[in-house]
Amino acid sequence: MRYDDSPPQPETAPAPGADRRRFARRSALAVAAAVIAPTTLAGWVLVQVGTGAGADDARPPRIAAPAAMGTGTPTATPTSTASPTATASASSSPSTGPSASGGPAPSPGATSPLAGKTVVIDPGHNTGNFDHSREINQQVDIGTARKECDTTGTTTRAGYKEADFTLDVSRRLRTLLEGRGLKVVFTHEADRAWGPCITERARIGNEANADAVVSVHADGVSEGSRGYHVILPAKVKGGAADTAAIVGPSRTLGERIAANFARATGSGPANYLGGGTGLVVRDDLGGLNLSTRPKVFVECGNMRDSKDAALLTSPQWRQKAAQGIADGIVGFLGG
C-alpha cells in the first residue's frame, strides 16, 4: 500500500489500464454471473473476481463478521483447528519405530501431519525502505510486468509503521507455528537495510519448498474502510510467472485463514472490496505471480481508519491476529 493516503487504492498501484479492464470485466461478468452464480463454485469465483476491486456500495458495511464469513465462502470448511489433532496422531502408523521396541514414545512431531512441513512467512515491507527510495524503486521483473522492487508500506495516522506491524505479527505467528512442530522460514527480519525485493520474497518461498507461504500486511486506505481481506493469486502466465498450479491450493489456504482470522479476532471482512467475503483475487502482485508454492497475502485491517488502527496497535489484538492466521495454516496443512 501507499504511504500517502490520497486515492484509496489497493496494496500496490494497479497497472495503467487496470481500471478499464476492471470495468470491462465487471460488465462482462455481470452477465456471466447471472447465468452461473446460483449453482457452481466457478460462478462464485467469477463473481468474486468481478467485484473484488470495486467499491462494495451494495453490501452492508461491516456487519457482525464471523457469521458473514461462513456464508460468503461456499467451499470453505471453516475448521477451527481447535479440533482434530488427537485423531490425526492416533491414526498414524503406530506399528513402526521406537514404540515397537519398547523404547521411548516418539516425539509428538514424529507422527503429526505437520511433521517435516515448512511455512514461509513474509513480513510485508521493511522500515528501512523509507530511507532507501532509490533501491526499492528499482524495477524488477514479475513475469507479467515490471514494477517496483518493494514499497514502504503505510502507517497509522499516529505514525505506527505497517512494517513494524507486519514483523510483530509474523514473529507471533512463528512462535505459534513452531509450537505445532512446523519449520518456519522468514523472508527477512528487519536484519537488512531495505527490501527484500518482491522477486526475492517469492524466491525464498519457492526455494524453501514451502508447504504454505503467507505474506503479512495491513492496508492503507481511507477512514471508514475497515476489516481484513486475504489476497489470492489469479491464474497468470508470462515470463517467470505461472500460477496455474497454485491457484487452487492457495484459495483453500486463503479461505482457511480468512475464516479463522474472523473467528480469532472478531473482525469483519473488508467493507471496501471483496464483496463482503474477505477474499480478493489479484493478478498484479509479484509476490504471488512468481510463487510456485501455495501463497496468500493477509491484509489484517486498515491502518488509516481510526477504529482499525486502535486494533492494529494493540499487542493483544495482534496476538489474536497471529492465532487466526496460524490456525488457518495449520488447518490447511492437515493439523
Piece in contact with Zn ion (CB under 5 A), picked from 29-37, 46-54, 217-225, 250-258: 217-225
We find the least distance from the C-beta atom of residue 162 to Zn ion, in angstroms, to be 5
> Contact between 286 and Zn ion (CB under 5 A)?
no
Footprint of Zn ion on 241-270 (CB under 5 A): none
Nearer to Zn ion, 106 or 269 (CB): 269
We find the least distance from the C-beta atom of residue 125 to Zn ion, in angstroms, to be 6
Piece in contact with Zn ion (CB under 5 A), picked from 29-37, 56-64, 148-156, 250-258: 148-156
Q: By the 8 A CB rule, do 282 and 288 touch?
A: yes
> Contact between 217 and Zn ion (CB under 5 A)?
yes
| Alpha-carbon gap, residue 197 to 187, rounded angstroms | 10
C-alpha triplet 250, 203, 199: angle, nearest 5°: 95
- A 10 A CB-CB count for 84 gives 15
Q: By the 8 A CB rule, do 137 and 202 touch?
A: no
Strands in 67-125 per DSSP E:
118-123
Footprint of Zn ion on 98-127 (CB under 5 A): 124
CA atoms within 13 A on the CB side of 260: 26
The residue assigned the cell 476491486 is 53
What angle, 0 to 180 degrees and rounded to 10, lies between the N-to-C axes of helices 65-72 and 247-265? 160
Cα 173 off chain centre by: 13
Nearer to Zn ion, 117 or 217 (CB): 217
Number of residues that bind Zn ion (CB under 5 A): 4
Cα 156 off chain centre by: 20
Q: DSSP readout, 268-302?
A: PBPSSSGGGSSEEEES--HHHHT-SS-EEEEEEEE
Piece in contact with Zn ion (CB under 5 A), picked from 18-26, 93-101, 151-159, 323-331: 151-159
Is-catalytic flag, 178?
A: no
Nearer to Zn ion, 111 or 291 (CB): 291
We find the least distance from the C-beta atom of residue 179 to Zn ion, in angstroms, to be 26
| Nine-digit cell string for 64 | 457482525
Piece in contact with Zn ion (CB under 5 A), picked from 1-9, 48-56, 85-93, 129-137: 1-9
Q: By the 8 A CB rule, do 282 and 10 touch?
A: yes
Nearer to Zn ion, 68 or 231 (CB): 231
> Contact between 161 and Zn ion (CB under 5 A)?
no
Nearer to Zn ion, 1 or 142 (CB): 1
We find the least distance from the C-beta atom of residue 275 to Zn ion, in angstroms, to be 21
Nearer to Zn ion, 1 or 136 (CB): 1
Query: What's phi and psi for 124, nearest 5 deg?
Result: -60, 140
We find the least distance from the C-beta atom of residue 296 to Zn ion, in angstroms, to be 13
| Alpha-carbon gap, residue 71 to 56, rounded angstroms | 17
User: Residue 281 forms beta bridges with which residues?
Assistant: 232
> Contact between 143 and Zn ion (CB under 5 A)?
no
> Contact between 153 and Zn ion (CB under 5 A)?
yes
Q: Which of 11, 162, 255, 299 is flagged as catalytic? A: 299
Q: Using CB positions, name the residue nearest to Zn ion.
A: 217
- A 10 A CB-CB count for 20 gives 9
The amino acid present at 308, given as its one-letter code, is: D
| Nine-digit cell string for 30 | 455481470
Nearer to Zn ion, 150 or 327 (CB): 150
We find the least distance from the C-beta atom of residue 124 to Zn ion, in angstroms, to be 4
Piece in contact with Zn ion (CB under 5 A), picked from 29-37, 96-104, 150-158, 203-211: 150-158
We find the least distance from the C-beta atom of residue 220 to Zn ion, in angstroms, to be 7
Tell me which residues are annotated as active site.
299
Site residues for Zn ion per CB under 5 A: 1, 124, 153, 217
